[in-house]
Structure 1
């Protein structure tokens, strides 16, 4: 990707992009499953189930045990799963290397950053606060706030506007096909995917404008060092 020198805003995905949250998701999911007398899933198995929000994770976790619940029971179990996760979303979760530094560089360069995630927004905000990323994010939008989930572009378009940018001058950074589809549908000019996230399909096969192996790689791609000086 050529340096994106007209970038006016960067919007990040959360899970698999800025933070590895699988540990706490695994704990919460297994607590919900235990209430159904179902055995726990190992963390690496849950890693392959993540994507699309907590409801989909629960559905996949149940399906791995060949369990399908009626709608009412599924909603009740989901509510308990969410409660378990909301009670402690940051005990085992950790930021990926370079997350804080990259957001700091962007802020110093005058590039506002936002977050567009399918995670429940209160949980996302709590996780960002506990990891000291909250004050680095100018706009945070999660699920359960009136917007449809990604890949519907409404949430992303909303975040871009809140950051004072337009789709033509904004960049999306994510870790899977859903993030790519969301950005394309929103009309964003550039999409960057990280190679270390939760994508089942190799991100190099998805058609992003750039694939990076480390968040630090985003800085030279945007030609920010010179602009931040």
Structure 2
């Protein structure tokens, strides 16, 4: 977990328990990474001697863990084979692919509004944490986020949400998860958190139905956050882990 609590922007609001903790997914929620992710998937497949795919066939893999991607596309099952595929994916993604990416229109204005009105923002992504931090730095938006939670193959998105809930500052506020895929909404449900589906990402309509609420545009997010943010108790999390 990367923390930015020391950032001067938050010194006057970090202890305000009356505002919300807003947890954002990254890919398909804050930015559109389709070009980079699909090219890197095909790079790995080609290096492994497997057929490559048109970009449109790979969009459904934006969001889930990479082990799911390569298990389905290349039939890989062993940890060693999956690790090799992911290594080849990152061989292109880390120097090049993460920049083949664009922020969604209007998202920076909303991040600015949320922070200015006292919300604390976090990232929870299935990307590796250092890679997620590089994406935010590339776009110049790292300063909006008090924490960045990323993971490799051994942790789920629900585990990341539990980390936020257990935080001594973030966990004291009403909170909500914002994302575009079923993995976001199912993780929120697992830990007793409400969620908001953004309809500009890569989820399907049946995935959006798993969320507590949904929005069509970034400008709709502030009101949806007010409607849905709620306190999640850490003792409940301990029970759900067992």
TM-score (norm 1): 0.81
Offset at 1:184? 1.7
Matches within 5 A, 1:161-180: 161-162=166-167, 164-166=169-171, 169-180=174-185
Which one of the candidate residues 199, 202, 213 is aligned to 2:206? 202
Deviations 1:52-81 (A, max 9, x none): 22222222332xxxx446543332222121
Stretches of structure 1 that go unaligned for 5 or more consecutive residues are 1-5, 225-229
Contact 1:115 1:141 in 2 (8 A): yes
Offset at 1:167? 7.3
Contact 1:167 1:186 in 2 (8 A): no
Stretches of structure 2 that go unaligned for 5 or more consecutive residues are 1-17, 228-242
Offset at 1:165? 2.9
Which one of the candidate residues 197, 200, 203 is aligned to 1:193? 197
Offset at 1:203? 3.8
Aligned length: 210
Which one of the candidate residues 34, 38, 50 is aligned to 1:38? 50
> Given the superposition, is the C-alpha separation of residues 11 and 135 from structure 1 closer, same or farther in structure 2, using an over 3 Å criterion?
same
Task: Show the counterpart of 2:143.
Answer: 135
Offset at 1:83? 2.5
Contact 2:103 2:139 in 1 (8 A): yes
- Residues 1:157 and 2:162 aligned together: yes
* Structure 2 CA distance for aligned equivalents of residues 105 and 161 of structure 1: 26
> Given the superposition, is the C-alpha separation of residues 200 and 25 from structure 1 closer, same or farther in structure 2, using an over 3 Å criterion?
same
* Structure 2 CA distance for aligned equivalents of residues 161 and 113 of structure 1: 15
* Structure 1 CA distance for aligned equivalents of residues 207 and 59 of structure 2: 16
Task: Show the counterpart of 2:88.
Answer: 80
Contact 1:52 1:118 in 2 (8 A): yes
Offset at 1:138? 0.7
Offset at 1:14? 0.8
* Structure 1 CA distance for aligned equivalents of residues 204 and 103 of structure 2: 20
